[in-house]
Chains A and B, each alone.
Chain A
């Protein structure tokens, strides 16, 4: 949207206003420039803070070690009951209950992955981002530093990029470039399917 760009003109006012006055329903060609410029300018992403990262890690662990673990144990218990019951009808009902349990676990698993991707927690930035991209159906190219980032930089950068992945449509093509160690610079370029427009997003993180 173009608004508030004041340039001296014959009748005064903004370019957008001028365009509407001259030709209602059509955007003036001068007004299209800033619009295009706006689309191509990098958008700034807000990185998660240290406290956010700790909180999200704790939430995922609580979900994993609590509800998910208990429900998996419940699935085993149902399996045990099914093995001892000896009644086909009851076995079928138990199997149906196990199926429902599996569906609920799938949902919880999805929630856990969004809160804090498990591979990011266990294997680091590259594998973690690949895992999220795979779940989201994205095609990605990673350009990461050759030297290992600190634990804080890995987790904050990983969550920043993973959160952005969750906003993209499946089939999008994404390039992620990460540079720096204490001051980490992140550039994400993406193109959604069916469009030719590339969008660029940037973030800078100050890490300990």
Chain B
């Protein structure tokens, strides 16, 4: 896999390049800012671009650069890295795209296997979300009473958590030790309980399901 890296921290950038090479990937280039990465991707396509969220240009230059890369080369996978797992950044990432994209904490990809798995899933078209963030959000959302999410069963919440981590139905089945058919049934129940429209494509509804719980968790309309 051809990978380009944009990261303003020299130490982390060099370490990431070495780890990518150890994982058997080709490092097409390492850049200290987003503008240099966009120029390189415009000249020669890569399979996945890895970007730091907080880097030049701007306070969240990685997100702006990801938007430009996605507009320039829609087939290029994008992995955004950060020191912080924040819902706001996740929402921005999902606004950029619902396919071939990921958002992970920097220290959580510090292994050949986990980095390789993350890149493979992004290249295969999945959304990869930092599991810590997905777990925290699903747990928080489900604990609130009076929301559609509160009506989900424990198993459906587990399925939604894994959907939020970007897992496909087969992967969810493997994780929960149930059949793919049972996963489909739970996913259909989640769509129904969250009131998601039936005329959307299945993939679109998956993203809507994740967004529904993220948004419900972020703002609770109850006044004190």
Which residues of A pack against B, CB within 8 Å?
Answer: 64-65, 68-73, 75-80, 82-84, 98, 101-102, 105, 109, 112-113, 118-119, 121-123, 127, 130-131, 134, 137, 139-142, 172-175, 189-191, 198
Contact = CB atoms under 8 A, between A and B. Distances in A.
Contact of B221 (A69, A141, A174): A141
Given A72-B107, A73-B15, A173-B223, A131 B112 contact: no
A72 B88 CA distance: 22
Q: Which of A70, A73, A172, A174 is packed against the most chain B CB atoms within 10 Å? A: A73
21 contacts: A71-B107, A72-B12, A75-B106, A76-B12, A77-B15, A79-B111, A80-B22, A82-B111, A84-B22, A98-B107, A98-B110, A101-B107, A102-B108, A113-B84, A119-B86, A130-B218, A134-B218, A141-B221, A173-B223, A173-B224, A198-B224
Interface of B: 9, 11-12, 15-16, 18-19, 22-23, 54, 59-60, 83-84, 86-89, 106-108, 110-112, 115, 140, 144, 217-224
Nearest to A192: B224
A165 to B, nearest CB: 13
B87 A131 contact: yes
B135 to A, nearest CB: 13
Contacts of B115: 79
Contact of A134 (B59, B87, B108, B223): B87
A79 B19 contact: yes
B110 A75 contact: yes
* Main SS at interface, chain A: helix
A94 B217 CA distance: 36
Top 5 A-B residue pairs of the complex, sorted by shortest distance between their CB atoms: A76-B15, A139-B220, A75-B110, A73-B11, A79-B110
A118 B105 CA distance: 14
Contact of B12 (A69, A127, A130): A69
Contacts of B12: 69, 72-73, 76
Contacts of B140: 134, 137
Nearest to B136: A134
Given A64-B83, A72-B106, A134 B217 contact: yes
A118 B54 contact: yes
B34 to A, nearest CB: 14
A102 B22 CA distance: 22
B83 A80 contact: no
Nearest to B52: A69
A113 B83 CA distance: 11
Contact of A76 (B19, B83, B218, B222): B19
Nearest to B112: A83
Contact of A83 (B22, B83, B89, B108): B22
A69 B88 contact: no
Contacts of B89: 119
Q: Which of B22, B88, B220 is packed against the most chain A CB atoms within 10 Å? A: B88
A112 to B, nearest CB: 8
A131 B86 CA distance: 7
Contacts of B107: 71-72, 75, 98, 101-102, 105
Nearest to A127: B88
Given A75-B107, A76-B15, A141-B221, 14 more contacts: A69-B12, A72-B9, A73-B15, A82-B111, A113-B84, A130-B87, A130-B219, A131-B86, A131-B87, A131-B88, A140-B219, A141-B219, A141-B220, A198-B224
Contacts of A73: 9, 11-12, 15
B57 to A, nearest CB: 13
Contact of A72 (B18, B87, B110): B110
Contact of A175 (B9, B16, B110, B224): B224
Nearest to A142: B219
A69 B11 contact: yes
Given A71-B107, A190-B224, A118 B19 contact: no
Contacts of B87: 130-131, 134
A84 B60 CA distance: 34
